[in-house]
Structure 1
Amino acid sequence: MNIKTLFWAGTLFLSAQAYSQIGIKTPTPSSTLDVRGSIEGNYLEITDDYPLLPTDYHVSFSGTGNSKLTLPSKSATDNSAVDFRGRKYYIRNNSTTADLTLTAAGGEILRLGGTSPGSNIFVLKAGKSATLTAGNANGWDLDVNTNWALVNLPYIIPTDSPGGSVLAGTSYTTVAGSQINVTVPSPNTKLILSFMGSLNIQGQSKPGAFGTLRFRIAQTTGTTTTTYNDVDMASWAMANTNPQACGLNYSMMYPISNLAPGTYTFSLQAIREAESAGASGLEIWFYITAPTAELYLK
Structure 2
Amino acid sequence: MLRKFTKLGQLLGLLASSFVFSQAGNVGINTPNPGSTLDINGSVAARYTAITAAVYNLNSADFHVSYNGTANAVFNLPAAISGVGNFKGRMYTIKNNTNFTITVNSAAPETINGNASVSVPANQSVQLINTGLTGAAITWEVMTANSTITASNGLNLSGTDVKLGGTLSQPTHIATDGNNLSIDGTGKVLLGTNTVPAGAANSKIVIDNGTTNGALQIKDGTEQLGYVLTSDANGLATWSSTVTTAFADNWTSYSGTLVNPFTGGPGALLPTGISVTIPAKGWYFFRCGVTIQSNCNDYGFYINGVGEIWRTYCNVADVQMMSPRDQNRVLYFSTPGTYSIVGVKTNATVPTGFNIGNPAFYLDFVKFQN
TM-score by structure 1 length? 0.49
Larger RCO of the pair (alpha carbons < 8 Å, separation 6+): 1
Please say which structure displays the higher CA radius of gyration: 2
Which structure shows the bigger proportion of residues in strand conformation?
Answer: 1
